[in-house]
Amino acid sequence: MRNIDKYKNVLSYSVIYQEDPEGGYVVNVPALPGCHTQGDTIDEVEQNIKEAILLYLENLKLKNHS
């Protein structure tokens, strides 16, 4: 996993959590279209969305430098 701690407290995004009827959770970031993930527990999905946000932002940065 990437080093999320270096970005901690730099940016803040609202996220929406939804319970999946089949179990687990789905979470998305409305401000970042297409940024979403899932997990079996709240702890897992929180870690997953932090990584998804980081990867989303890194991808935007790469696209802007191309």
Whole-number pLDDT of residue 3 = 58
Q: Which residue has the higher pLDDT, 6 or 44?
A: 44
Which residues, at least 6 apart from 29, have a Cβ–Cβ distance to it below 8 Å? 13, 14, 15, 16, 35, 36, 49, 52, 53, 56
Q: For 37-53, how does the pLDDT look when each residue is reduced to its tens digit (9 = 90+)?
A: 999 999 999 999 999 99
Domains of the chain with bracketed CATH: 4-64 (3.30.160.250)
CA angle at residue 49 from 14 to 46, to 5 degrees? 90
Whole-number pLDDT of residue 56 = 94
Q: For 8-30, how does the pLDDT look when each residue is reduced to its tens digit (9 = 90+)?
A: 556 789 999 999 999 999 999 99
> DSSP state, 4?
G
